[in-house]
Structure 1
Amino acid sequence: MAINLQKGQRVDLTKGNPGLSKIMVGLGWDPVQAKGGGGFLSSIFGGGGGQNVDCDASVLLLGEGDKLKSNKDVVYFGNLKSNDGSIQHTGDNLTGDGDGDDEQILIDLSRVPAHIQKLVFVVNIYDCVKRNQHFGMIQNAFIRIVNSANKQEMIQFNLTEDYSGKTSLVVGEIYRHGNDWKFAAVGTGTTAPGLSEIVRSYA
Structure 2
Amino acid sequence: MSIILSKGQKIDLTKTNPGLVKAVIGLGWDTNKYSGGQAFDLDASAFLVDATNRCQNDHDFIFYNNLGHPSGAVVHTGDNRTGEGDGDDEQLVVDFSTIPSYVQRIGIAVTIHDAELRSQNFGQVSNAFVRLADEATGQELLRFDLGEDFSIETAVVFCELYKHGNDWKFSAVGSGFSGGLMSLCQNYGLEV
Indicate the structure (1 or 2) with the bigger Cα radius of gyration: 1
Instruction: Name 1:38's counterpart in structure 2.
Output: none
Contact 1:52-1:95 at 8 Å conserved across structures: yes
Question: Is the counterpart of residue 12 in structure 1 residue 12 in structure 2?
Answer: yes
Instruction: Name 2:40's counterpart in structure 1.
Output: 53
Instruction: Name 2:95's counterpart in structure 1.
Output: 108
Report the CA distance between 1:159 and its aligned residue.
0.6
> Is the partner of 2:52 in helix, strand or coil?
helix
Question: Is the counterpart of residue 94 in structure 1 residue 77 in structure 2?
Answer: no
Match of 2:130 among 134, 143, 158: 143
> Is the partner of 1:129 in helix, strand or coil?
helix
Task: Give a deviation string over 1:164-197, Cα, whole Å, max 9, x none.
Answer: 111000100000010100000000111023x233
Determine the C-alpha separation between the residues in 2 that align with 1:52 and 1:135.
Answer: 14
Q: Which runs of 5+ in 1 are unaligned?
A: 34-40
Determine the C-alpha separation between the residues in 1 that align with 2:148 and 2:31.
Answer: 15
Runs of 4+ in 1 over 6 A off after TM superposition: none
Match of 1:200 among 175, 182, 186: 186
Instruction: Name 1:37's counterpart in structure 2.
Output: none
Instruction: Name 1:163's counterpart in structure 2.
Output: 150
**Root mean square deviation, CA, Å:** 1.2
TM-score, normalisation: structure 2: 0.95
Instruction: Name 2:68's counterpart in structure 1.
Output: 81
TM-score, normalisation: structure 1: 0.90
Determine the C-alpha separation between the residues in 1 that align with 2:182 and 2:87.
Answer: 27
Report the CA distance between 1:142 and its aligned residue.
0.3
Amino acid at match of 1:10: K
Report the CA distance between 1:131 and its aligned residue.
0.7
Aligned length: 189
Determine the C-alpha separation between the residues in 2 that align with 1:85 and 1:18.
Answer: 20
> Is the partner of 1:198 in helix, strand or coil?
helix
Determine the C-alpha separation between the residues in 1 that align with 2:57 and 2:117.
Answer: 28
Task: Give a deviation string over 1:62-86, Cα, whole Å, max 9, x none.
Answer: 0121111111100000000001112
> Is the partner of 1:64 in helix, strand or coil?
coil
Question: Is the counterpart of residue 23 in structure 1 residue 61 in structure 2?
Answer: no
Percent identical pairs in the alignment equals 46
Determine the C-alpha separation between the residues in 2 that align with 1:16 and 1:7.
Answer: 20
Q: Which runs of 5+ in 2 are unaligned?
A: none
Determine the C-alpha separation between the residues in 2 that align with 1:114 and 1:19.
Answer: 20
Amino acid at match of 1:197: S
Amino acid at match of 2:7: K
